[in-house]
Amino acid sequence: MAIQRRDPYRNFNFRVAIGGRASANDGFSAVRLPTLLTRPDVAVDVGTALEDERSSHLVLRRGFTGAMDLHEWWLRERGPKPSRGRVVVVELLDESTTDVAMAWRFTGCRPVALHYSPLDALESAVVTETIVLAFDDVDMS
């Protein structure tokens, strides 16, 4: 499925599907793809300029709309019987937003952290929620 071309793709055309539920982006405004390591037990020094890129977790961020799906998933994983995880697919789209240029399919995804941005009466920023996901494997196509 990967479509190679001369000019690099832009990073703002993408869509996210969690557990097979695909929507226009599920409201996600940012995806931080993990650094893919061959041996997770070996420390990797990628330099200070790439410090944020060292994460071996998938990170999804969206504006908070009152939807409780991410919070409920996080709560279930904290319970006595955590699940086997879900499938999360991140698709990079071309400029037409109809063709998939590349897809990352993460299996066995489980929330390890859920974060909400600060509330500040002196600002008018959007409240965001960020979910950090551990995963078992990733395929690219």
| pLDDT tens readout for residues 63-99 | 999 999 999 999 999 988 878 899 999 999 988 878 8
Would you list the domain boundaries of the chain? 14-37+50-140
Q: What is the structure's pLDDT at 3?
A: 78
Q: What is the structure's pLDDT at 136?
A: 93
Phi-psi region of 100 (alpha: psi -120 to 50; beta: other; left: phi over 0): beta
- Per-residue pLDDT, averaged over 115-138, amounts to 95
Q: What is the structure's pLDDT at 22?
A: 57
DSSP string, the chain: -----SSPPPSS-EEEEETTEE-SSTTEEEEEPPP--S-TTS-----GGGGGGG--SEEEEEE--S--HHHHHHHHHHSSS--S-EEEEEEEE-TTSSSEEEEEEEEEEEEEEEEEPPP-TT--PPPEEEEEEE-SEEEE-
Q: Within the chain, what is the greatest distance between any pair of CA atoms?
A: 50
- Per-residue pLDDT, averaged over 134-138, amounts to 94
- Alpha-carbon torsion 22, 24, 28, 30, what sign? positive
Class of domain 14-37+50-140: mainly beta
Phi/psi of residue 65, nearest 5 degrees:
-115, 0
> Which pLDDT band, with edges at 50, 70 and 90, does 108 fall under?
very high
Contact status, residue 118 vs residue 44, Cβ threshold 8 Å: no
Q: What is the structure's pLDDT at 25?
A: 47
